Each structure stands twice: as structure tokens, then as C-alpha cells.
Amino acid sequence: MKSPIPDYLHVVLENARPIEDGKPASYIDTLARADTSRLAVALATVDGKLYSAGDDQVEFSIQSISKAFVYAIAIEDAGLEKVLEKIGVEPSGDAFNQLSLERGTHRPMNPMINAGAITAHSLVISPTATAEERTDRILKIFSRLAGRQLHVDEEVYEAELKDADRNMGIGYMLKAAGILTCDPREAVKGYIRQCSINVNVRDLAMMAATLSNAGVHPITGESIIPQWSVRQVLSVMTTCGMYDAAGDWVSNIGIPAKSGVAGGIIGALPGQVGIAAFSPRLDDRGNSVRAVAMCQQLSRDMGLHMMDVSQIASSTVRTAVATIVAGQSDPHNANCNREVVIFSLRGAVRFAGAERLTRAVARELGVPDPQDPGSGAYIDACAVVFSFRDVFSLNQVSQRIIREDIYRLIADGKNVIVIDPSGVLKSDPERQGPHPCIVKTEAEARDQIGGVGCQAVFKADNW
């Protein structure tokens, strides 16, 4: 069988092809004479599968898309606190090349406008680094993100440098405002060089997917950007990535995104996919007309809108009860009957899942509630089993809640067995007193509960 996904991407591509609006960036000749028939789209999953269609090998300069990733590098090199001191996070409502300094602090409004991006560039390595050192570092990281060695387009770089008056102006203004501490010319030169790195849509999709995958490269597994930094980058892309159309983009497309003046756009949906699209013709706001159209179709077709609630989990907790038909019941607890209550969780458990589990435990094993017939039915169960066999992640709050559940049950005198083959439930070393019994398989769990003759416990579909 051949995967239908490439076919789908072709459909998306061909739907966008007839759009003839817009025109390529004209401020430098290299961009102005871009082949406007070029069209490409790519999609990378968080586990490393990359699909693409169209001119997916054609390279173009990354331009402003670099801003998102250099912001991440700045956060790593200078620390988030320092970065926030120098660059705000509010949408500016202005065009990308406006100075847009915040009243009072004189910070550029956000890292997605040029002023903020030049500042972010200056925070790479250290204020005393040269343009070359910074671009080297940026090029290396971009290459790791793309999964191949990238290069600066020297022709674009030279042309942009000749036309850099506005950015030079911004650089000097930032210096005067005390935001830049290095030579503004170095910062601007480095910034222009970072924008001149060549990529194709496959590179960009993989870079975006790394953001979607919490900073871990989907293929190499390398952790390139710390998770909390990714969160910051995606937040800023959400509110400021599409310049003065933040609200419009969020309500229509709903994916954290960033565009570049050479015609590229990336979108990164946390935990899902990275997408990239390319076509040189730009609209008035400097976003590629066809790339926007392709992103919009992908978002609608694929349900990628981050405010889309279609994936609501109806339940991820299963409760089962087994009776110990043979063997001994809990030798340590004479009060209990021979029932074992088994709670199984599945999937990626966050607060909602842990809360549901807690609710189930409290209902079955708590004091019966007259308002709720059936509650407290297993208050006398001889053992409680938690199975995390099908859980692939437990976030912090879930762990805290579930640990609390377990210790409360132990305090209630219950025998608690945890099946956790992949060790998703971290232990709390500071906790005093008796601990649950943690095992890797159901068989081990059975052994813990009660000796021989337990086959009858394992009716099909119970666990």
C-alpha cells in the first residue's frame, strides 16, 4: 500500500497553484527576480516522518523565519530573564520594519519584528561576540534542526547588506536606547547573515516539528532547544508571528507560525506536526499568499486549529474488579474481602486524566455517598491495582495527584500494587512511611496479590 498522505499534499498544492495574487519582495534584486512559479509544501510528524510535495528541493533564504529559532538560541545563551529585559512579548500592531519600542522600557515590542530580532541576535553567545561567531553558532544549530548542513546564500547576503539602511537605523536606535550593547553594525550584519541562510520546505518542516516535539529533534532524538524555551517561542509565535495580523491568524488558522519575506512560512502545532510552505509572491503584509492558503487548508482539513476541541477524551480510565477465586486473600489484612479493584490508564495523562482516575478511586473505595448509589462499593477491597501499561506519559501534576491517591489509599490500609513497565510514575524520595508495591507485569501483580490459583482473576477484557 502506498500512503495517501503525499497525495493529499499534492491536492493542497494544486489548490493553491491557481492563486496569482501578490508579488515577490522587491527591495533586493535577488528576491525580486525569484521564480514565482515555485510552490512547495511539507509536513513533518513529531516522530520524524517527513512528507512533501512540489518544489521541495528548491532552496530559498530563511529570512524572518530565522527569528523564531534565534530567539530560542538567545534564551539559551543569555537566559530568559535577560532576554525579557531586552525584548518584550506583546504584539505591536505595526509592520515588521517599524521600530516599535515599548514606552518606558524602550524594549522592542517582540522578537518577531526586526528591532526585536536584531536584539535577539545580539544576545547569541555574548555581547562581545563577532557577527561571524554568532552566525557560525546559528548556522550550526539551524543545520542540526534541519538535519543537514545548511549554507549562507552569499549573493542574498551581499545584496541585503547593501540595502541595510533601515536595519542599520534600527540598530543604532537600539544602541542609543541601551538595548544593544555591542556595535550595532556587527549586530545588523550578523542578523542579515542569519536571514540569508538557505533552506527548503523539508528543512523548515523538520525545524518546525522540532518545536512541536518540545525541542527534541524528531529523527535524531537530540534535544536541541529546552522545553521551557520552546514554550516561550511558540507563545510569541502565536501572538506576534504574523505581524499585524495576529488575531486574524489565530482565529483562522490557529497554529503558532512565522513567515519570511522570501516566501516561506512555518507552523508548529505542539505535540502534533510541523508544517512548511513556500511560494515567492507576498501579500501586503509580507506573507506569501499561496503559503498562507496552504497553511489554512492544512489547518482546516487536518483539524490543526489549537482551539479546536474535537479531540476531547470521553474517558481514559477503566475500572475493573476481580475476585480472588483461589489462593489466599491479603494475609496482612483480615478485614478485606477477596475483591481486587483494578484501575487502568491509557495515553498521555495530564491533569484531566489524573483527575478522572482520582474521581474513580474516590467513588469506588471511599465512604458510600447516599446521593450516589453504588459509591463505596469496594470500600472493603483487599487490594488496589493501578496499571500504567498503556500510559506513555504522565505530566508533573498527574504524578503528584496519583502519588497522593496512592498514599491516601495506603493510609486507608489498602494493599496497593502499581504496574508500571516503563517507569512513568516517578517516586517521591522525600515521602516517609509505607510505599506501594511497583511491578513490571500483570503476572508480577498477581503474584503480589495473593499466591496460587489466581487464574480465575484474569477473565478476558478485565485488565
Q: Does 88 bind a second copy (CB under 8 A)?
A: yes
- Within positions 271 to 330, which residues make up the interface with a second copy, using CB under 8 A? 271-273, 301-316
Among 140-148, 231-239, 325-333, 449-457, which window interacts with a second copy (CB under 8 A)?
231-239
Residue placing its CB nearer to a second copy in the complex, 273 or 417 = 273
How many CB atoms lie under 10 A from the CB of residue 423?
10
> Closest distance between a second copy and the C-beta of residue 346, in Å?
6
Answer left, alpha or beta for residue 74, where phi above 0 means left and psi between -120 and 50 means alpha: alpha
Sheet order of strands, 383-394 included: 317-323, 339-349, 383-394, 416-419, 437-439
Cα distance between residue 144 and residue 220, in whole Å: 9
For the bound state, the minimum distance from the C-beta of residue 154 to a second copy, rounded and expressed in Å, comes to 23
Among 110, 200, 287, 329, binds a second copy (CB under 8 A): 110
Please give the order of strands across the beta sheet that includes 40-45: 50-54, 40-45, 273-278, 264-268, 257-259
Residues 327-366 contacting a second copy, CB under 8 A: 346-352, 355-356, 358-359, 361-362, 365-366
Query: Judged by CB, which is closer to a second copy: 128, or 393?
Result: 393
Residues numbered 182-221 forming contacts with a second copy, rule: CB under 8 A = 184, 212-215
Stretch that binds a second copy, among 34-42, 149-157, 246-254, 280-288 (CB under 8 A): 246-254
For the bound state, the minimum distance from the C-beta of residue 139 to a second copy, rounded and expressed in Å, comes to 25
Question: What x/- string results for residues 390 through 409 when contact with a second copy is judged by CB under 8 A?
Answer: x-xx-xxxx-xx--xx--xx
Q: Is 231 in the site for a second copy (CB under 8 A)?
A: yes
Burial zone of 54 (CB within 10 Å; 0-12 exposed, 13-18 middle, 19+ buried):
buried
Q: Which stretch binds a second copy (CB under 8 A): 136-144, 172-180, 259-267, 288-296?
A: 172-180
Site for a second copy in 5-64 (CB under 8 A): 5, 7-8, 45-47, 49
Joined grid coordinates for residue 416:
496497593
**Size of interface with a second copy, in residues (CB under 8 A):** 104
95 near a second copy, judged by CB under 8 A? no
3-state class (DSSP) for residue 84: helix
Member of 19, 89, 219, 320 binding a second copy (CB under 8 A): 89
**Using CB under 8 A, which of the segments 125-133, 142-150, 194-202, 227-235 binds a second copy?**
227-235
The span from the CA of 396 to the CA of 402, in Å, is: 10
Q: At what angle do helices 201-212 and 227-240 cross, to 10 degrees?
A: 120
Q: Compute the distance between CA of residue 446 and CA of residue 452 in angstroms, rounded to an integer.
A: 9
Distance CA 131, CA 296 (A): 37
